Amino acid sequence: MRILLIEDDPDLGPEIARALRAEQCAVDLFTNGIDGGHAGATEAYAAAVIDLGLPDRDGVSVLREWRAAGRDLPVLILTAREAWSDKVAGFKAGADDYLVKPFRIEELVMRLRALVRRAAGHAAARIACGPLAFEAQTGQFELHGMPLKLTALEWRILSALMLRKEAVIDRLDLLEQVYEGDADVESNSLEVIVGRLRKKVGAPLIETVRGRGYRLTASALA
């Protein structure tokens, strides 16, 4: 899961990024609305976190621009403004959630997980595919009821596949969900990670769709 974070506070921004990375997420942190807005308009993200009070252009204008261009990624707004009118402006611009500073980082993580899950069409927090289950609110995978140990890259790939289970996900789409924007990616990295995952969850669960990408499916187990 790759998150776009636009926050100019020199302490809060890195703190949020560290917390999200500790939860296995990839994070691209920007400190201004111009660069962050461009990233949100051109890169693939599972969700975005935007501060309203940015130094060059405010978060509401960035969000309006995304929505006008048809960008539908879930967006959580951060702000020190508690006035109802500010919240209304954020929601009218297209925000999906709103968090007032100061806040607990744990709450931010839980809200983001819920936004990503609902955006993928899952109402329930527990998602299953054959013997594999994913607790979307805790980020925990289970196989046959037992906790599954995964690396950060494995978790990002498997969570992307699980949230869109039975659908074919393009290779490039998966790669964009795994690596941060400045990462140096090897050409065969995705195949290596998928190979490791097949050993952990069982090869039939992850199907290669030739010329397109991968699909998480329990159909081969029926």
Q: Which residues contact 220 (CB under 8 A, 6 or more apart)?
A: 204, 205, 207
The CA-based angle 213-167-97, given to 5 degrees, is 110
Which ranges of 69-178 would DSSP assign to H, the alpha helix?
Answer: 84-93, 105-119, 152-163, 171-178
pLDDT confidence band for 179 (50 / 70 / 90): confident
Phi, psi of 47 (to 5 degrees): -165, 165
| pLDDT, position 15 | 95
CB 181, CB 43: distance < 8 Å: yes
Domains, in order of start, for the chain = 2-119 (3.40.50.2300), 126-221 (1.10.10.10)
Global pTM reads 0.89
Closest Cα to residue 3, out of 43, 56, 62, 58? 43
For 99-118, the pLDDT digits (tens) are 988 899 999 999 999 999 99
Specify the residue for token string 């990408």.
213
Please determine, for residue 28, whether its predicted confidence score (pLDDT) is greater than 90.
yes
pLDDT confidence band for 193 (50 / 70 / 90): very high
